[in-house]
């Protein structure tokens, strides 16, 4: 009997997405970081996304409970950052076993409330239910000026590929980046407001996987320069820094493309606005969607595969 493990998350979604019914008012449906809705009469589009945070998948029994609450919000609003929007409201479902220590649940709630205050979000409600494991499901609602959301599908041949911050080992050996990361809200809003980015995605499942998603959505290929990829200090301490930077999930940095003719202006403005957050050129978009290569300075090009995390499947070889 075939199970979810046999096909994995990516294939499950690939088969499902085209079948989902749509309704008027939907500017962008499933398959991007957020859906985009437009109501008549407004100057703002609505951004909607939902994200689960599950024990043993996204945190462990010894994760400080406040950081579980924080992560449940940070993950969801990172998707709004990836469209260039401003997160405004949340709905949060809590699932927990009945024998969960009350103090742990209260600390998770405190983490949610503190994070909502930090990012100026209203918590509109949600639900609580008994279940086998501890989970938070966060729906985030954001706003963005009409028609300015940055999609995954906008990359064009010759665009330059950038990534913010540095990548890899978010979970490695006690690294808490996956709990303490800063969603790149201001960076995403800057890229949307000035229309610098032609496409964008946040790195939740690893550069190789998420770049593949962006290229698939844009029907393009890419060259990525291995020696240009910014590797996190934690990944540098491992035996395979580049592999960690390419394949580890939960960096929550932004991956985006900028049209060649805007690159100079973009880079100057970026350095002015974000003097302490690097935006690193790592490659170029190509017109042939089958050409996706990792270029090494002293080795032949290697094909770029989605080697990052996907649910239901064992890690790729």
Binding mask 30-69 for a second copy (x = CB under 8 A): xxx-xx-x-xxxxxx-x-xxxxx-x-xxx-----------
How many Å apart are CA 315 and CA 308, to the nearest integer? 8
Query: Total residues contacting a second copy (rule CB under 8 A)?
Result: 82
Pairing of strands 122-130, 197-202: unpaired
Intra-chain end-to-end CA distance of the chain, in Å = 23
Instruction: Work out how close the CB of 134 gets to a second copy at its nearest, in angstroms, rounded to a whole number.
Output: 10
Among 73, 80, 141, 151, binds a second copy (CB under 8 A): 141
Please give the structure tokens belonging to residue 23. 């309704």
How many C-beta atoms lie closer than 10 Å to residue 163's C-beta? Answer: 26
Kindly state whether residue 273 participates in binding a second copy, applying the rule CB under 8 A.
no
Among 14, 60, 133, 302, binds a second copy (CB under 8 A): 133
Kindly state whether residue 147 participates in binding a second copy, applying the rule CB under 8 A.
no
Among 60, 122, 240, 296, binds a second copy (CB under 8 A): 122
Q: Which span sits near a second copy by CB under 8 A: 25-33, 216-224, 248-256, 298-306?
A: 25-33
Kindly state whether residue 199 participates in binding a second copy, applying the rule CB under 8 A.
no
The three state secondary structure string of 110-164 is: HHHHHHHHHCCCEEEEEEEEECCCCEEEEEEEEEEECCCCCCHHHCCCCCEEEEE
List Cα–Cα distances, 202 to 53, 77, 112, 122, 123, in angstroms. Answer: 17, 10, 21, 23, 23
77-116: contacts with a second copy (CB under 8 A): 88-89, 91-93, 95-103, 105, 109, 113, 116
Kindly state whether residue 316 participates in binding a second copy, applying the rule CB under 8 A.
no
């Amino acid at each position: 009997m075939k199970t979810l493990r046999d096909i994995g998350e990516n294939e499950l979604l690939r088969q499902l997405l085209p079948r989902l019914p749509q309704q008027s008012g939907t500017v962008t449906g499933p398959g991007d970081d957020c859906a985009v809705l437009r109501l008549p009469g407004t100057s703002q589009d609505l951004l909607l996304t939902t994200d689960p945070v599950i024990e043993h998948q996204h945190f462990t029994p010894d994760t400080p409970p406040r950081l579980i609450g924080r992560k449940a919000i940070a993950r969801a609003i990172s998707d709004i950052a990836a469209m260039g929007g401003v997160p405004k409201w949340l709905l949060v479902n809590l699932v927990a076993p009945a024998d969960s220590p009350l103090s742990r649940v209260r600390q998770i709630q405190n983490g949610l409330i503190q994070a909502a205050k930090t990012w100026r979000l209203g918590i509109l409600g949600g639900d609580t239910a008994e279940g086998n494991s501890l989970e938070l499901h966060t729906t985030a609602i954001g706003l963005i000026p009409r028609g300015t959301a940055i999609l995954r599908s906008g990359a064009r041949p010759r665009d330059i590929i950038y990534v913010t911050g540095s990548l890899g080992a978010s979970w490695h050996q006690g690294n808490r980046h996956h709990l303490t990361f800063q969603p790149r809200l201001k960076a995403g809003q800057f890229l949307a407001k000035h229309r610098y980015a032609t496409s964008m995605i946040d790195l939740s499942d690893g550069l190789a996987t998420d770049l593949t998603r962006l290229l698939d959505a844009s029907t393009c290929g890419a060259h990525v320069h291995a020696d240009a990829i910014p590797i996190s200090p934690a990944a540098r301490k491992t035996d395979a820094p580049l592999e960690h930077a390419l394949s580890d999930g939960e960096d929550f940095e932004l991956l985006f493309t900028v049209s060649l003719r805007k690159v100079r202006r973009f880079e100057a403005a970026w350095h002015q606005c974000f003097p302490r957050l690097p935006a690193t050129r790592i490659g170029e978009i190509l017109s042939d969607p089958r050409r996706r290569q990792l270029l090494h300075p002293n080795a032949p090009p290697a094909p770029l595969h989605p080697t990052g995390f996907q649910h239901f499947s064992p890690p790729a070889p």
